[in-house]
Amino acid sequence: MAWLAPWSAILPSLVALVVSGASAWACLLCFTSYEERLQICQIFAGLDSPDLGKCEEAFADAFKGLLDTEINYEERGQLHDAFTQMTHSLQEMAAAQGSFRVAFLHAAEKMQKIILQLKEVQACIPPCGLQEVTRRFRCRGCYSKVCDLPLDCPVQDLTVTRGRQAMFSCTVNFQLPKEEITYSWKFAGGLRTQDPTYFRDIPRAQGYLARIRPVQPTHRGTFSCVITHDQRPLARLYFFLNVTGPPPRAETELQVSFREVLRWVPQEAEMVEPWRPSLGELLARPEALTPGNQCLLVALVALASASVTVLVWMFFRWYCSGN
């Protein structure tokens, strides 16, 4: 019947656990194991003592004040270390034959002071986004949770005159992780919507800023920006661009001039002849006497002189032969 001794010590603990409820243990249940708590009570009350169940009840009652405690998720490790140190201290007090009621109340008060010194939980910032910096750890249930906000942010409306510039800033009012943040842009033409089935990717759009210049009627629609951290979406922003008004005057004049250039045809191109100035025009316009023209003029004078000389010589020869 020796094997019944351990069960005689465990059964009162199970009964106390059922009666008080697991949630009553709060942070104590999250950061200490059942074996550690049972060992502390066994040292205080003894293995077969009828006060073993009373010890566990006193243990749970002392920490009921931490039932609804919430801490910053990043401080979870520090609180776990504090509870580990507390179990060692309680074991030393139990070995010194101290009172478990006094020891448990003192330990709970000390733990409350440690929790107050932890980094505070950051408040949720509406209206949207997965805000990891606000993640908190709840002792009631031993789980973590972030703000219950949607990923989709409200649509922001932007009206721009045709031909002007439109700029979208994909920024949120809560803190983002410092690394591995990516931005992807999509567009749903002609619609003001948040339905993902209407959007198509914009491959060349990167970064948190997007700019369209000049804005044209075809740009009317909803632009979507998805902020991602390590392939996990943190927020989806929407911008509806409404294009109004005629194009700017300067742009209109430029377009008219461009169309006139395209329609222009040189109909009299075949009538254009190069300028061939006469000798009188060359002499009357000094700027026409270029070095090339001067050389040509000298050659013409020399040729004319030679021709006259030959004709005179031939006439003289014919005349002399006749006499």
287 pLDDT above the threshold of 60: no
Backbone angles phi, psi at 166, to 5 degrees: -120, 135
Query: What pLDDT shows up at residue 278?
Result: 62
Query: What pLDDT shows up at residue 206?
Result: 84
Inter-residue contact 54 to 41 (CB < 8 Å): no
The better pLDDT of the pair 46, 4 is held by 46
When pLDDT is cut at 50, 70 and 90, the band that residue 300 belongs to is confident
What does the alpha-carbon distance between residue 51 and residue 49 come to, in Å, rounded to a whole number? 5
Query: What pLDDT shows up at residue 19?
Result: 33
Q: Which residue has tokens 């998720």?
A: 73
Average pLDDT estimate for 64-71: 88
**pLDDT 10s digits, 103-150:** 999 999 999 999 999 999 999 999 999 999 999 999 989 999 999 999
Average pLDDT estimate for 242-250: 77
Q: At what angle do helices 4-20 and 34-45 cross, to 10 degrees?
A: 110
Q: How far is CA 308 from CA 122, 156, 301, 314, in A?
A: 114, 96, 11, 10
The better pLDDT of the pair 45, 284 is held by 45
The better pLDDT of the pair 111, 297 is held by 111
Among 2-11, 56-65, 130-139, 303-312, whose mean pLDDT is lowest?
2-11
Q: Which residue has tokens 């002399």?
A: 320
Query: What pLDDT shows up at residue 10?
Result: 37
% of residues, the chain, pLDDT over 70: 78
What does the alpha-carbon distance between residue 125 and residue 174 come to, in Å, rounded to a whole number? 6
What does the alpha-carbon distance between residue 175 and residue 131 come to, in Å, rounded to a whole number? 7
When pLDDT is cut at 50, 70 and 90, the band that residue 78 belongs to is very high
**pLDDT 10s digits, 169-206:** 999 999 999 888 999 999 999 999 999 999 999 988 88
Among 20-24, 119-123, 160-164, 195-199, whose mean pLDDT is lowest?
20-24
What does the alpha-carbon distance between residue 305 and residue 289 come to, in Å, rounded to a whole number? 21
Mean pLDDT of the residues in the chain: 82
Beta strand 152-161 pairing with 232-244: parallel
Note the pTM of the prediction, 2 decimals.
0.62
The better pLDDT of the pair 128, 307 is held by 128
Name the E strands within 109-259. Answer: 136-138, 143-145, 152-161, 166-169, 181-189, 200-201, 209-212, 221-229, 232-244
The better pLDDT of the pair 10, 80 is held by 80
Query: What pLDDT shows up at residue 248?
Result: 60
Helices (H) and strands (E) in the chain, counts: 9, 10
